[in-house]
Amino acid sequence: MERTLVLVKPDAMQRGLAGEILSRLERRGLRIVALRLFQMDDELARRLYAEHEGKRFYEGLVSHITACPIIAAVFEGTNAVETVRKAMGATDPAAADAGTIRGDLALEIGRNLIHGSDSLESAKREIALFYREDEVHSYSRDLDRWLFEAPD
């Protein structure tokens, strides 16, 4: 099972879309294994977006993600990183497919509602920014046998 970080960003929080976003990912079959609402500070935002430092949009990213409380969630499941990425849609909502979170609910690239880790390596790094290992709780559900094939 893979794990990935999802952030429900301030624009989604302000628009009352947190429940829908989390629900779409759960309906795909992913499990929430960590979840919290909190206000991200400037230091954490800069660590999260360190790869973008120096780019013209960097300060806007930091300012936006710290504007109001957000939800940080860890999802777990088969191919969790790729599953979340596909469910989110393209970073630019204008290029996102209908049926994706961004394609259905967002209009502008700077207000695209959701962050999801872009690789397993990023997921591990990003999850560690928000959660200690003992704060992430794997568990099984009765329906998992209908979602996930048993490993060979």
Catalytic pick from 52, 64, 115, 137?
A: 115
Active site residue 115: yes
Q: Which two tokens stand for residue 78?
A: 């088969």
Sheet with 114-116, strands from edge to edge, namely: 31-38, 70-77, 2-8, 114-116
CB 122 within 8 A of CB 7: no
Distance of CA 7 to the CA centre of its chain: 4
Distance of CA 80 to the CA centre of its chain: 11
Q: Which residues are catalytic?
A: 115
